[in-house]
Amino acid sequence: MNPIDGVLLPELDSPVRDPHLPRALGWLSLALGASAVAAPGPLARLTGIDDSPAAGTVIPALGARELGHGLGLVAGRRPSGWAWTRVAGDAMDLSLLGWAMTDRSGERRRRLALTTAVVAGITALDVLAALSAGRARRTRDRTIRIDMAVTVNRTPAEAYRYWRDMENLPRFMSHVEAIRTIDLRRSHWTVRGPAGRHVEWDAEIVDDQPNRSIAWRSLPGTPVPNAGRVRFVPAPGERGTEVRVQLGYVPPAGAVGRAVAKVFGEEPEQQVRDDLRRFKQVLETGDVVRSDSSPDGISVRQQVMQRPAQPLPNGFRR
């Protein structure tokens, strides 16, 4: 499964969420750090270094460091960065333990060996967590995210109803060629791709709040994982409805990905803006607004390469 399928949608609604491991390790850091600062004595005995005069200062210092990592992992914005600081901390602990082991024997040495084994295990987990957080971040960095809104002079219920019928979407989403509903939640999308090719996927509605909001996402297996949410909020001053859209999609990496990204819009923002403008036109005026130089309505491409403002060639009928 493409990892983005698991993170894309929640991410559109709330601040970045990562796989659970880094955060769990963060809590571990907090617990360890707190006990090291508050009660260095028992910890020193447990690990077998209670004979060292330095233990009383070194252990609380390590505890403070651990608290730092823990806070970073639990509350920080970039867990992958903090996960690597934990790995660095582990390395430091391991070398301290190795050094302590050289001049100890018997029960103390046994305890130190056990501690070293535990820390080594934690280090392995930390490396894993750091790697996975990094992967999630890189996918996220490729995600194209768009927030856009338009005000439509219709009630939230009318705007919702039109959008909820997914087969209406191609009327105003210029790159979407067709949407076929499979059942109440699922639909099949056909989107214009590079060089006349098509990209297709199935999508499902994952959250449906009548007259208020709709959220959908592509099902696993699409080359362009994507998700979106649209909200219908009454506009202040009796001006209809604020239609607020959040979209995200992940173009595949590599050359194919770049081509797909281009088709989805060299200026994805402009494309979504134009889509919303057409949505407004269709709801308010009943049709996409066409001029002689833009007979198919707004489109980014057409705005750059307009035909002259003359009637279309004879026989043109729509």
Total residues contacting another protein by CB under 8 A comes to 38
Question: Which x/- pattern over 128-157 shows residues binding another protein (rule: CB under 8 A)?
Answer: -----------------------x-x----
Mapping DSSP to helix (H, G, I), strand (E, B) and coil, where does residue 200 land? strand
Residue 219 has what DSSP assignment?
P
184 contact partners, CB below 8 Å, separation of at least 6: 205
Asked if 280 is part of the footprint of another protein (rule: CB under 8 A), the reply reads yes
Q: According to CB under 8 A, which residues from 83 to 112 bind another protein?
A: none
Smallest gap from Cβ 67 to another protein, in A, equals 50
292 contact partners, CB below 8 Å, separation of at least 6: 307, 308, 309, 310, 311, 312
Q: Which residue from 119, 186, 273, 275 is in contact with another protein, where contact means CB under 8 A? A: 273
Q: At what angle do helices 55-75 and 79-102 cross, to 10 degrees?
A: 160
Q: Determine the Cα–Cα distance for residues 184 and 199; give it in Å rounded to an integer.
A: 22
User: Which part of the chain contacts another protein (CB under 8 A), choosing from 69-77, 123-131, 201-209, 280-288?
Assistant: 280-288
Asked if 174 is part of the footprint of another protein (rule: CB under 8 A), the reply reads no
Q: Which residue from 240, 254, 261, 301 is in contact with another protein, where contact means CB under 8 A? A: 240
Smallest gap from Cβ 178 to another protein, in A, equals 21
Mapping DSSP to helix (H, G, I), strand (E, B) and coil, where does residue 276 land? helix
Smallest gap from Cβ 232 to another protein, in A, equals 16
Residue 233 CA: distances (Å) to CA of 159, 211, 240, 286: 10, 9, 9, 21
Q: Which residues contact another protein (rule: CB under 8 A)? A: 151, 153, 239-240, 270, 273-274, 277, 280-281, 284-295, 297-298, 300, 303, 306-314, 316-318
